[in-house]
Amino acid sequence: MPSIAEKRARFHELHRSGCFVIPNPWDVGSAVWLQQQGFPALATTSSGYAWSHARPDNGITRDMALQHLAELVAATDVPVNADFESGFAVDAAGVAESVRLAVATGVAGLSIEDSTGDAANPLMPLDVAVERMKAARRAIDAAGGDTMLVGRAENFIVGRPDLDDVLRRLAAYAEAGADCLYAPGLQTEAQVRAVVEAVAPKPVNLLVGTASAWTVADIAAMGVRRISVGGALARSAWGGFQRAVELLAQGRFDGFADAAPGKVLNVAFAPR
């Protein structure tokens, strides 16, 4: 198994050119399966992990998140990027402490959001969000500096789809030390290209969480460096589960028709 330093170096290398898909497992089994399919890196999904514990997105504790990160890092040979929500803290000092603990799990990267959870005021003031990003950067640098910091502008998924504000925020996060920038919820090529241009030459992550006509090649042509899927894989698994359960409640078993064969899963997860 590669060392943590080697995983982190590989993660930075992946962001230097081209475009790669970084899928989002929600537990050790899904992480190992995705690694076996040849994906070069993985990213956690806060929503997928929360649902596996019968909690809503943003409903897990910091300790739960840290344990989850440590488990996925230990179980896989590829770099793992942490969906670290808003850093499990409000103030910059709290973010710094959370980031210090996350880095210690061995993750190759982690993201910090600027959402508040308050429907009336869903985004942090820009100056507050920037100070939090700077604190995250300092914590990473104090630990060696090789963990990638991802700055997220949550405008489009909290009901504030102001592209100009997204661009201001991402440019400010890049200036504050974010290595990669991310605005989940972008829907058009023009929006994606605007984000890429605003933070160039730093890499951009694009979320594709629903069925899309875009291909990886289309997205690469827009200048995006990496593509994540958020909770989409977990939701797909839950969708199959729900359909099977609905049929079972009707006294039918044909919902199992597309189930993965147990032999295949046993081979995939056999000790190596």
- For 114-159, the pLDDT digits (tens) are 999 999 999 999 999 999 999 999 999 999 999 999 999 999 999 9
Please report whether residue 102 resides in a domain: yes
Q: Is residue 58 part of a domain?
A: yes
Count: domains in the chain: 1
Q: What is the largest distance, in Å, between two alpha-carbon atoms of the chain?
A: 59
Q: Is residue 254 part of a domain?
A: no
| Contact assessment for residue 51 and residue 238, using Cβ atoms and an 8 Å cutoff | yes
- As given in the structure block, the two tokens for residue 98 are 């959370």
Residue 261 lies in a domain: no
In the block, residue with structure tokens 């920038």:
181
Each residue of 25-69: pLDDT tens digit?
999 999 999 999 999 999 999 999 999 999 999 999 999 999 999
Report yes or no on 156 lying in a domain. yes
> Mind listing the pLDDT tens digit for each residue in 178-232?
999 999 999 999 999 999 999 999 999 999 999 999 999 999 999 999 999 999 9
Mutual orientation of helices 163-176 and 126-142 as an angle, nearest 10°?
A: 30
Q: Do the domain assignments include residue 50?
A: yes
pLDDT class of 260 with cuts at 50, 70, 90: very high
| Residue 260 covered by a domain | no
Neighbouring C-alpha atoms within 13 Å toward the C-beta of 124? 23
Distance of alpha carbon 270 from the chain centroid = 28
Buried b (16+ CB within 10 A) or exposed e, 50-83: bbbeeeebeebebeebbebbbebbebbebbbbbb
Residue 272 pLDDT:
83
Asked whether the whole model's pTM tops 0.85, one would answer: yes
Could you give the CA distance from residue 129 to residue 49 in angstroms, rounded to a whole number? 25
Structural domain contains residue 57: yes
Q: What is the CATH number of the domain that holds 144?
A: 3.20.20.60
> Which strands make up the sheet holding 204-207, listed edge to edge?
20-22, 226-228, 204-207, 180-182, 148-152, 109-112, 80-83, 42-43
Domain that holds residue 133: 4-231
Q: Is 15 helix (H, G, I), strand (E, B) or coil?
A: coil
